[in-house]
Structure 1
Amino acid sequence: MENLVQDAIQNVNMAAIMPSVVLCCFGMAILLITVFLPKGKTAPIAWLSLAALVVTGLVSLAGWGEPQTGFYGAVQLDKFATFFNIIFLLAAGLTILMSEDYLKREGYAIGEYYPLILFTTAGAMWMASGTDLMTIFLGLEVLSVSLYVLAGMFRGQLRSNEAGLKYFLLGAFSTCFLLYGMALVYGATGTTNLAGIAQALQTDGGLLGNPLMVAGMVLMSSGFLFKIAAVPFHMWTPDVYHGAPTPITAFMSAGPKAAAFAAFMRVFVVGLGGMADQWTSLLWVLAVLTMVVGNVIAISQTNLKRMLAYSSVAHAGYALVGLVAFNEVGLSGILFYMLAYTFMNLGAFAVLVLAGKKGEDNLTLDGFAGFGYRRPVLAVAMAIFLFSLMGLPPTAGFAGKFYIFAGAIKEGYIWLAVLGILASAVSLYYYLRVMVVMYFRDPVEDFAWVKMPVGAMVSIAIAIVGVLLLGIVPGPFMDLARLAIF
């Protein structure tokens, strides 16, 4: 018994989870501080949360060249996890910067809002660093439960209530599929460790056609595909994105989506790499459906949040192309694309945060008429983000799609790349339509309510710099992404 205890202590290695530990400690401390602040005074909490993200980022970067493994191989803080950790922290930081004045405008200046973002980010970190199915599931649950609350944070708004409830019910349903798939894989291989699963597939060729193993793979993929909002598991996305507070919608479209891709890649590339012939065939079809359905349905949307929701579905399809390619260019392209998408999508939502009235009923195409004349600075920023979402040079969106499709072509998936390019061309219509409305329609509103608070403007400025930097000099960032893959 004594040997077991000593062995357990030796295999703990807190350094492997130190970034998330730091973030959780800050989150709990901030949660306690909110008790002693006057009602509605959340600015100190916001700044403390930003400080927590900066400290956590420094802790993460400190371990870039020194991978740490702990808890009997259940967690690994390697370059892959660190790269995604920075994406999560960027998404959380930009979300917090755009939130303070928005919450006051909507009448929901609630201090617990910020610690929940920190806890969500910690859950995302566990998903990215998890090398065991149970660790990944634990991270997913921490992330999901916090997001359920954040989506329904505006208790007095029916849309927010609907978003929180729908996301909770469908999220719990998808989690059941994921957990059942993990159980089947454990039943087939006798382990939940990803390296152990890979070893089992390598040594026992019969597992490749084992019904338990195949069913487990399909069920786990269903759970991950729900989290990234891929077709046909995307139906929750427009309603939840529309009803959730706009900064949380922005956060959901970047941070948790990147976390789902990180876990997806860990499980399928590391653990189920031996079954690549089976799951790449499945993902080939789903990638095409996701790109096509997301872009086609986005055309008919008049509400900008719903349009960006279906756009998010399409972008999940582009990233899936890199997973189908299953080579260095495609896999590293996913990491680059998640970073680029964080900047361009959060930037677009930050503009919507500032442009919206109380209740946000004006966030429609008609409501944006003449925005370019009344608020030229914000309109130019929105145009940059839309150009990047289209995938036009010299923006991050173009570089990201180039690497993704280059990986597919290199592996021989030429038709997949062609279909991706055609689907991307379809998106030009609804993105350009927003710019036409901004610049070629007479203003209906004077947009006098639009303020330009420091926090939100800083988030937009950071997003613009990120979009242009990754578009003009993508090489160094792509090199980091290559170093980060397995």
Structure 2
Amino acid sequence: MSSNVLALLPELILTLVGVFVMLAEPCLKPGSSRKPLGWFAIAGTVGSLIASWYQIQFGTIHAFSGTIQVDAFSVLFHFVIASVVLVTLLGSLDFFEGNASHAGEYFALTLFGAVGMMLMTCSVELLMVFVGLEISSISTYIMCGFRKGQATGTESSIKYFLLGSFATAFFLYGVALAFGATGSTNIYAVAHGLETTTTPALAFTALALIIIGLGFKVSAAPFHVWTPDVYQGAPAPVVGLMSTAPKTAAFAVLLRITFTSFPLYQHRWSILMWVLAALSMTIGNLGALLQRDVKRMLAYSSIAHAGYLLVAFTAFPFDGIAAACFYTATYSAMNVGVFAVITQVAGYDERARTIDDFTGLGQKRPYLAALLSFFLLSLIGIPFTGGFFGKFYVFSAAIHGGNMWLAIIGLLNSGVACFYYLRLLSAVYTRPGSESTRLNQLRRISVPAAIGIALAAVATGALGILPSGAVSFAEYASHSTLIEQGRQECAASPDSCNLQLNYDVK
């Protein structure tokens, strides 16, 4: 197998399966079930998971003239993205049944979006990152407005498209300025060019524009204004996907660019990340306090969690990369689990939208309520959940890096978050006041959806109770990224290379 095929094996599998699903969908009779296409998409996602795990045994793989680099870092994010897509597809098999004849397009778009996200995580060429960003964004723009008969869905799609286009322009302008300052758009070549550039102000401006573009994708304040409206109007499974997988890809790119392309400017951009982290945590949690709509509340919650993750960027490179990798995995598991439960409770027509609509869920569906409670407790950061250890790892890395006050701000915001999460939790176990509750028509959960929710719950619990394996892999990913950076620097200037690679990569 050639290195080019091996490097993009998960993406190739998803692309081929997505193309088949899109071509097969028009051949089915109108009104017939699209579940077989969904099962085929699930099989393709499992195949991409296996392919990602297969890549790890080859170490670092360079392909397509050095524009693609597959290492432990990219494999970790590939695995997270594919796992999120798997849970989303399992929870979506019955979501469109009887409501949308074009459900096959949804399955294909989900796979194509995952291809773009995975391409972002393994690209070390900024123009290739842009291509992956566009593939991912176009898919999610369409999926936000998938319920064509509802005005809120159309509003969600258009708003996301317009603001996303502006954010993409910022990213592309940043790439252009980076080329002007360093003469290259390769991540490692940019780092080498910064040592001799005569326009350092232009280079930092390029980084600032790139951070703005990616800040939109991760819903970091003050680039978060689109998030509540888009989350509220989009279908629940789409929100579960877009609140986790695209953020995972964007944070992977942000980690590579900041710690690998611009390490010389860390004393500057770490201050910017400090401010963004504090703003995101505070605005996200305070905004969530005012919400009664569950999806809007979780939208502000996602802004706050983006802030928690940005805390890792203020730490030392090894600590920061490892903590960010681990927190990304834990957040993806618990957040996709929350929206998988909401998908089953609300249904296609979203019978349950506000906190009051979840009243009595503990009596109607005790197991579903218990799983929702578990995910909410993990989002709070209660011990023995993935959310607790994720925050502990991130805040510890910040303290180790000398950012005690940022860690204190994060802890205070975690306390504020308890209120709105527990408010929803109390509604779930409150006895309904009348028989007119919207949960009376709650349908039985399907087997695939139950499997998807169970997978998310197992991952959330395992990352909190037995985190050592995931932490070791996150540290291995951090090692491989920093070592590869050192090798590239030595190759670029062997005479002046004095980098000591003291990491023992196992």
TM-score, scaled to structure 1: 0.95
Identity of aligned residues (%): 39
Give SS of 2:103's match. Answer: coil
2-side partners of 1:317 and 1:380: how far apart? 27
- Which residue of the other structure, out of 19, 40, 51, is the alignment partner of 1:59? 51
Q: 2:192 aligns to what?
A: 199
**Per-residue deviation at 1:57?**
1.2
Q: What letter matches 1:264 in structure 2?
A: L
2-side partners of 1:49 and 1:379: how far apart? 28
Q: 2:111 aligns to what?
A: 118
1:15 aligns with 2:6: yes
**Per-residue deviation at 1:280?**
0.6
1-side partners of 2:13 and 2:433: how far apart? 48
- Which residue of the other structure, out of 167, 170, 174, is the alignment partner of 1:177? 170
1-side partners of 2:364 and 2:273: how far apart? 45
Give SS of 1:393's match. Answer: coil
Kept in 2, the 8 Å contact 1:16–1:69? The answer is: yes
Note the aligned Cα RMSD (angstroms): 1.4
Kept in 2, the 8 Å contact 1:330–1:406? The answer is: no
Kept in 1, the 8 Å contact 2:361–2:429? The answer is: yes
1-side partners of 2:24 and 2:69: how far apart? 32
- Which residue of the other structure, out of 42, 46, 67, is the alignment partner of 1:50? 42
Kept in 1, the 8 Å contact 2:181–2:198? The answer is: no
- Equivalence map 1:346-385=2 (5 Å): 346-385=336-375
2-side partners of 1:443 and 1:277: how far apart? 57
Kept in 2, the 8 Å contact 1:355–1:447? The answer is: no
Kept in 2, the 8 Å contact 1:327–1:411? The answer is: no
**Per-residue deviation at 1:448?**
3.1
Q: 1:226 aligns to what?
A: 216
Give SS of 1:112's match. Answer: helix
Q: 2:260 aligns to what?
A: 270
1:89 aligns with 2:82: yes
Q: What letter matches 2:470 in structure 1?
A: F
1:39 aligns with 2:39: no
Out of 26-35 and 73-82, give the one that drifted further. 26-35
Kept in 2, the 8 Å contact 1:330–1:405? The answer is: no
2-side partners of 1:47 and 1:457: how far apart? 15
Q: 1:76 aligns to what?
A: 69
2-side partners of 1:189 and 1:274: how far apart? 13
2-side partners of 1:120 and 1:256: how far apart? 8
| Cα separation, partners in 2 of 1:443 and 1:341, compared to 1, 3 Å | farther
1:301 aligns with 2:291: yes
Kept in 1, the 8 Å contact 2:181–2:197? The answer is: no
2-side partners of 1:352 and 1:106: how far apart? 18
**Per-residue deviation at 1:357?**
4.7
| Cα separation, partners in 2 of 1:291 and 1:377, compared to 1, 3 Å | same
- Which residue of the other structure, out of 407, 424, 427, is the alignment partner of 1:417? 407
2-side partners of 1:223 and 1:326: how far apart? 24
1:405 aligns with 2:398: no
**Per-residue deviation at 1:377?**
0.8
Kept in 2, the 8 Å contact 1:389–1:397? The answer is: yes
Q: What letter matches 2:183 in structure 1?
A: G
Kept in 1, the 8 Å contact 2:341–2:368? The answer is: yes
- Equivalence map 1:125-136=2 (5 Å): 125-136=118-129
1-side partners of 2:384 and 2:440: how far apart? 30
**Per-residue deviation at 1:358?**
4.6
2-side partners of 1:358 and 1:342: how far apart? 23
| Cα separation, partners in 2 of 1:51 and 1:357, compared to 1, 3 Å | closer
**Per-residue deviation at 1:447?**
2.7
- Which residue of the other structure, out of 409, 425, 430, is the alignment partner of 2:420? 430
Q: What letter matches 1:299 in structure 2?
A: L
Give SS of 1:69's match. Answer: strand
Residue deviations 1:419-444, cap 9 Å, x none? 00111110000000011111134254
| Cα separation, partners in 2 of 1:277 and 1:54, compared to 1, 3 Å | same
| Cα separation, partners in 2 of 1:105 and 1:238, compared to 1, 3 Å | farther
- Which residue of the other structure, out of 143, 147, 154, is the alignment partner of 1:154? 147
**Per-residue deviation at 1:108?**
5.3
1:101 aligns with 2:94: yes
Q: 1:473 aligns to what?
A: 466
1-side partners of 2:442 and 2:402: how far apart? 53
Unaligned runs of 5+ in 1: 1-10
Give SS of 2:340's match. Answer: helix
Q: What letter matches 2:83 in structure 1?
A: L
- Equivalence map 1:292-331=2 (5 Å): 292-331=282-321
Unaligned runs of 5+ in 2: 482-506
